[in-house]
Amino acid sequence: MALCKEQFVDALKRLVLSRMRILMKHSFYGLLLMHTKFKVEEECETAYTDGESIVFGYHFLKELSDEELDFVMMHEILHIVLRHCSRYGDKDDNLFNIACDIVVNSNILKSNNFDRKSITINKYGESIHKTPNGDEGFHYTAEEVFLLLEMKKEEHKNKNKADNSFDDHSKWTLLSDENEGDKADDENQKWLNRILAAKAAVEKQLEGKGTTAGAIPASIERLYKELTESRVDWRTLLQNFIQEEVNDYSFTPPDKRFSEFDFFLPDFNDTDARVSDILFMVDTSGSVTDEMLNQAISEIKGAIDQYNGKLSGYLGFFDT
């Protein structure tokens, strides 16, 4: 018998309440869930994400306790923000599915202070969270875990995904095919901005409490570090613009060899390094925190001080 409208509404209410609980206990996950649509499908066996929405099967949702539901919600949102749905390439689907689950579940486990109940659904048991070498998955990217799994491919040859996995990854390949080129880049940038905003909000919320340990998933912290650390030191970049100017002679100081005479002559000077027409552009969009902006200005000041007043150019700001 088909489900009625009231049953779907009640199911969606459970998902909203779950988001509220997560927002209270794990703000970072909750803030990102605010950008996600929820759907309930009668024909869906468990749960899945297509990279934009989180979808639950009605009967699967009905069987879950509140704690189990919160785990599934955190599991799916991490798949989305880590962009697992569009990172397949030509990888073995089965192994990459397992690799993504290991990374996601381990991050959730760490966020819950390694309370194993946080990654357990009674019907499926404890979810996989360790790599083949025994390390926790949050230390790695999905691609790195995938390579470790490939080394032991025979062990997974006859397995249909992981025995205790619950979510369906079959929608991922479709997303990967559709979101190519500029569309995929736009979607990735959109989620990156959301990650940065959520991270800044959590850090502000915890300001003065001494630590943000566990508040932000380890994989997100690593991603943030990779994105914010300069690939090339700005000092190295500036060296490419340095122009050596040779002032052939100058009276400051004069040539000391003629100091005993009634007249003085100019002396030859060494080359003089100058940096001209340098343009510094600073991002002031909503994803940039006060801390990041202060760091950028400090770096620019450091560049100016390094050249003892011999650097000239322009400073600009942009937000789009």
pLDDT digits (tens, 9 = 90+) for 144-170: 999 999 887 766 555 545 556 788 888
Mean pLDDT over residues 253-262, rounded?
67
Higher pLDDT, 270 or 124: 124
Alpha helix stretches (DSSP H) within the chain: 5-25, 27-33, 58-63, 66-81, 93-111, 142-151, 172-178, 181-205, 218-228, 234-239, 290-306
Q: Distance between CA 162 and CA 144 in Å, rounded?
A: 18
Mean pLDDT over residues 14-18, rounded?
96
Contact 128, 95 (CB under 8 A): no
Report residue 18 as tokens: 């779950």
pLDDT score, position 183: 66
Report residue 129 as tokens: 């969270």
Q: Rounded mean pLDDT of the chain?
A: 81
Residue 230, pLDDT above cutoff 60: no
Contact 212, 283 (CB under 8 A): no
* Residue 107: Cβ within 10 Å count: 26
pLDDT score, position 180: 56
| pLDDT tier for residue 271 given thresholds of 50, 70 and 90 | low
Residue 1, pLDDT above cutoff 70: no
User: CA 108, 114, 116 angle in degrees (round to 5)?
Assistant: 85
Higher pLDDT, 276 or 77: 77
Range scoring the smallest mean pLDDT among 13-22, 268-277, 306-315: 268-277
Which one-letter DSSP state was computed for residue 71?
H
pTM of the predicted structure, to 2 decimals: 0.69
**Helix 5-25 crosses helix 66-81 at what angle (to 10 degrees)?**
80
pLDDT score, position 256: 67
Higher pLDDT, 42 or 155: 42
Residue 246, pLDDT above cutoff 50: no
Percent of residues, the chain, with pLDDT higher than 70: 73
pLDDT score, position 136: 95
Range scoring the smallest mean pLDDT among 71-75, 157-161, 164-168, 306-310: 157-161
Report residue 265 as tokens: 């002559």
Contact 75, 167 (CB under 8 A): yes
pLDDT score, position 264: 66
Q: Distance between CA 23 and CA 160 in Å, rounded?
A: 34
Contact 11, 58 (CB under 8 A): yes
* Residue 112: Cβ within 10 Å count: 18
Q: Distance between CA 258 and CA 268 in Å, rounded?
A: 13
Higher pLDDT, 114 or 159: 114
Residue type, 143: E
| pLDDT tier for residue 210 given thresholds of 50, 70 and 90 | low
Of 22-36, 86-100, 258-272, which has the strongest mean pLDDT? 22-36
Range scoring the smallest mean pLDDT among 87-91, 110-114, 292-296: 87-91
SS (H, E, C) 108-170: HHHHCCCCHHHHEECCCEECCCECCCCCEHHHCCHHHHHHHHHHCHHHHCCCCCCCCCCEECC
Higher pLDDT, 64 or 166: 64
Which one-letter DSSP state was computed for residue 89?
T
pLDDT score, position 172: 80
Residue 173, pLDDT above cutoff 80: no
